[in-house]
Copies of this chain bind each other. A is one copy, B any other.
Amino acid sequence: MAELTKFWYLENFNLFRNLDNESMEELKRITSMQNISKNQPIYFPQEPSKSIYFLKKGRVKLTRMSPDGKEMILGLINKGEVFGEMSYLDEDERKEFATTLDEVLVCAINKDDFKQFVDHNPELNLRLTKLIGLKMRKYSERIEELVFKDAGQRVISFLLRLADENGKQIGDEIFVKPFLKHQDIAELTACSRQTVNSVLTDLREKGVINFDRKKLIIQNKEELKKRVG
């Protein structure tokens, strides 16, 4: 069951697989590549929503801000993933910030060019719908987590997700590098920086994980899983 879900996820991975040469040429023509340095904005709220982005290298965070200035991170985008896709659905303006977490290489496509491209490659229709459906599912899982889990469990769930998405298994440890600062984890898991810190240091003391500013090492994944149920 868990495996079937995994499969369903992976299936959505590469939007442009199996396109013919001509289409790939057209795709190249309508996209523009950009190198962006660390901690730079890609787009802002209220900005007109006119491109879809494909992340080639690095990480991006999507954040929303409350009227009184608190921040929350809606999600992290990794290499190979798409963001800003709401412009394809004629969203008029951005609702969130997209900010680089590292040196980033990103590929932008104007939404109208992209719509035309999809018209020429109708097999992309279902893939796009699936891609959006996949994000929807992630959001619904996030809601579930906020409702059912306490702060500590949410932080641990986040570590497990990080291990799945960015971890490298070396021996029986999982390495995640780069790691995130506590404040970012707090904004992703809807708790305070102090709570993140106390959960992490507690796990470190017990030998379940190890970490510093640059990396996270998961030494006992089973123990983490046990703690989130």
Contact = CB atoms under 8 A, between A and B. Distances in A.
Contacts of A64: 140, 144
A89 interface: yes
Contacts of A26: none
A148 B92 contact: no
Can you tell how many copies of this chain the complex includes? 2
Contacts of A27: none
Interface in A1-33: 1, 4-5, 8, 11
A4 B48 CA distance: 12
Contacts of A4: 92-93
Q: What is the predominant secondary structure among interface residues of chain A facing chain B?
A: helix
A132 B134 CA distance: 10
Interface string A145-171: 011100000000000000000000000
Contacts of A67: 229
The 8 A-B pairs at the shortest CB distance, nearest first, are namely A139-B139, A125-B125, A66-B148, A89-B133, A136-B136, A146-B146, A72-B147, A147-B190
